[in-house]
A and B are shown apart, each in its own frame.
Chain A
Amino acid sequence: DSGVTQTPKHLITATGQRVTLRCSPRSGDLSVYWYQQSLDQGLQFLIQYYNGEERAKGNILERFSAQQFPDLHSELNLSSLELGDSALYFCASSVGAIQGNSPLHFGNGTRLTVT
């Protein structure tokens, strides 16, 4: 158990809808990261927050947004969903703001299916 909790485990929704994925980091970790894994793309970094502030941005679509709250949990909002958004979404956390000497610990993901 990595200590990172993601909810829900599974989500099925229709095209055009909006969903929110939730992540609780490990106790003491200040950074939260979101990754997307689809069959044909592998693991893709989306965005990182550190102590409530956006820290780094990857290939995140404009239809997607995230935030980190004062209690350090994070939410990833996906809107105007398309079939191609079907994927596993992973959250990870780490102690520091930078990777360097600080490993990422991943949750077990939310499987999103868009029909």
Chain B
Amino acid sequence: DAKTTQPTSMDCAEGRAANLPCNHSTISGNEYVYWYRQIHSQGPQYIIHGLKNNETNEMASLIITEDRKSSTLILPHATLRDTAVYYCIATRYNQGGKLIFGQGTELSVKP
């Protein structure tokens, strides 16, 4: 799986959009980009994933650059409950469950 690089921590004001970047410059054509988050000591929560196109669901939007070397997770209106560690993972289509969770980005949403 391609290595991903994320900032260690970020702050965001409540009600504002949180934009979390992820670099995956060695991603291959059959690797998806997945985002999960983990709120303190709870199980990781799936947020969104994509291959080439931008994706949106009820939780977030995922913007993938045209060359697929980086992506941005957007939480449109961050709340205090969005404070968590966010993990960006690149994983092959035929890969089993060997998700490699890096250190992630610790997002703090402040009032």
The A-B contact count (CB < 8 A) is: 76
Pair A103/B49 contact, Cβ less than 8 Å: yes
Instruction: Flag if B43 contacts A99 (CB, 8 Å).
Output: no
Known: A42-B101, A56-B98, A58-B98. A98 touches B93 (CB 8 A): yes
Count of residues in A whose CB is under 8 Å from the partner chain: 28
The verdict on A55 contacting chain B, using a C-beta distance below 8 Å, is: yes
Q: Is the interface of B mostly helix, strand, loop or mixed?
A: loop
In the bound assembly, the distance between CA atoms of A101 and B94 in angstroms comes to 9
Q: A48-B96, A99-B95, A103-B49 are in contact. Are A108 and B43 (CB under 8 A)?
A: yes
Interface residues on B, range: 20 to 34
Task: Check if B101 sits within 8 Å of A99, measured CB to CB.
Answer: no
- How far does the Cβ of B39 sit from chain A's closest Cβ, in whole Å? 10
B15 → chain A closest CB, angstroms: 26
Q: Are B49 and A33 in contact (CB under 8 A)?
A: no
